[in-house]
Amino acid sequence: MFKKLNIVILIILLIIPIICNNVYAEVDDDEVNYNDIVFDENDLEVSAEPVEEPAISSRAAVVIDRKTGLVLYGKNSNDVRKMASTTKIMTAIVVLENTTDLSEIVTVSKKAASVGGSVLGLRSNDKISINDLLYGLMLKSGNDTAIALAEAVGGSVEGFAELMNNKAQELGLENTHFVTPHGLDSEEHYTTAYELAKLANYALDNEKFLEIVGTKNYTVTASGRSINVSNGNELLGYFGGVYGVKTGFTNGANRCLVTACKRGDIDVISVVLGADTKTIRTKDSINILNYVFKNFEYTDLESLIEKAYIDWEKTNFVEVIKGQNLYLNLKMGSVKYPEVFLKQNEEDNININFECINILEAPVYENTKVGEIRVLMGDEEFFTVDILVDRTVDKKNIYDNLYEIMKGIKNYCNNLG
């Protein structure tokens, strides 16, 4: 009997760590003390010397230019991965876009109060404003706040997930899917580094979201209790120009970090997913940001397009049949991105192609589109510029035709003379 008892005890001892790991490994990385991350002061400075593309340890990463959405650096950036608490970027933006009054008071459910992982410390039946829930969500990364917000805005976690997926579809995030508002591991809850960067870029255009993710410290009030929260983003306030966005950690996702950083006119978003440690995700983020700031510069793309257009226009014409003028006067439409952030000395990677109609029948009206300028980065189309009619060309009337006949007779007579 004692032998059987010993076997049972041994099994229990083996199972307990597994159970604990499955529960507590879901504690979001935001709640771990970041004081153990050591910053090298040299990493915080930007030198004029170009640096080579970094070899990073995170499993996936990307840096995009906020102005154009162009990818400036990527590693497995389109691979589908779990995203942990970076999920809460979508949670926050869905709440902000579906709430008219952020001062509205929410009653915390038992489900929200009992959720595992990182929490703000809400209790069942607590009264708290949506505004304070958002700060608890993005600074403290509270899973309890995520559930409370989902229930308040979507009616349920499932209803809120539907809103999240509708928003993802609206933003063209084809490889992103949400199941929960907090991001605890699920096979049906995923994104890519690139699409997460696109989502963050969209969210940062919301002034309230921008304000929240850039806040270092905030005091939340729940049923009269004051709860002080600090932003878990280790780069905020440490690495020059960082103004957001979100960290995350689960066993399945590993360490994740989405960072918005602006220096002068340069405004970028970096994402690292699947880092094994906090230090790695921090260092990888610093390395790819430094790589971009030291190697890329803005190129006057509008001037390059205008020059190409002038050269093209010299040898290309649009004939007008039955028009009062034989040829159309043309002009360029507006350029979507007058400047583009390119790696130094890589203007040759820009290709500009022209497509245009050769013949039209009058009348042809001002601002009619007759062609387009295709701007490509390498072989991939970046955007197009319309080729437009500069002024209206009316159809010939009877007097125009009579004039042409008389002019022809006069020319014939002159040639005879």
* DSSP codes joined into one string, 165-203: HHHHHHTT-TT-B-S-SS----TT-BB-HHHHHHHHHHH
**Do residue 247 and residue 382 come from a single domain?**
no
Helix, strand, or coil (residue 14): helix
In-domain check, residue 290? yes
In-domain check, residue 288? yes
Q: Facing residues of 263 across strands? A: 266
pLDDT score for 279: 92
Token output for 118: 């990182």
Buried b (16+ CB within 10 A) or exposed e, 323-349: beeeebebebeebebebbbbbeeeeee
Residue 368: domain span: 316-398
Q: How many domains are there within the chain? A: 2
Q: Cα–Cα distance between 387 and 373 in angstroms, integer?
A: 7
pLDDT score for 415: 73
**Do residue 233 and residue 94 come from a single domain?**
yes
| Residue from 118, 141, 270, 285 carrying the catalytic annotation | 141
Token output for 128: 């708290």
| Residue from 85, 118, 270, 285 carrying the catalytic annotation | 85
In-domain check, residue 273? yes
**Do residue 174 and residue 234 come from a single domain?**
yes
CATH number (domain holding residue 79):
3.40.710.10
pLDDT score for 324: 87
In-domain check, residue 190? yes
In-domain check, residue 237? yes
**Do residue 210 and residue 335 come from a single domain?**
no
To the query of whether residue 141 is one of the catalytic residues in this protein, the response is: yes
| Residue from 75, 88, 246, 396 carrying the catalytic annotation | 88
Helix, strand, or coil (residue 49): coil
**Do residue 174 and residue 276 come from a single domain?**
yes
CATH number (domain holding residue 321):
2.60.410.10
**Do residue 197 and residue 343 come from a single domain?**
no
Question: Which residues 6+ apart lie within 8 Å of 224 measured at CB?
Answer: none
**Do residue 285 and residue 391 come from a single domain?**
no
**Do residue 247 and residue 326 come from a single domain?**
no
- Averaged in consecutive runs of 10 residues, what is the pLDDT profile of the chain (417 residues)? 50 43 39 44 51 90 96 97 98 98 97 93 97 98 97 98 98 98 96 98 98 98 96 93 96 97 94 96 95 92 96 94 91 94 85 95 95 92 96 79 62 68
Q: Characterise 121 by phi-psi region: left (phi > 0), alpha (psi -120 to 50), beta (else).
A: left
What is the SS3 assignment for 370-403? EEEEEEEECCEEEEEEEEEECCCECECCHHHHHH
Point out the domain boundary residue: 262, 296, 330. Answer: 296
Helix (H) or strand (E) holding 412: helix 398-416
**Do residue 384 and residue 250 come from a single domain?**
no
To the query of whether residue 88 is one of the catalytic residues in this protein, the response is: yes
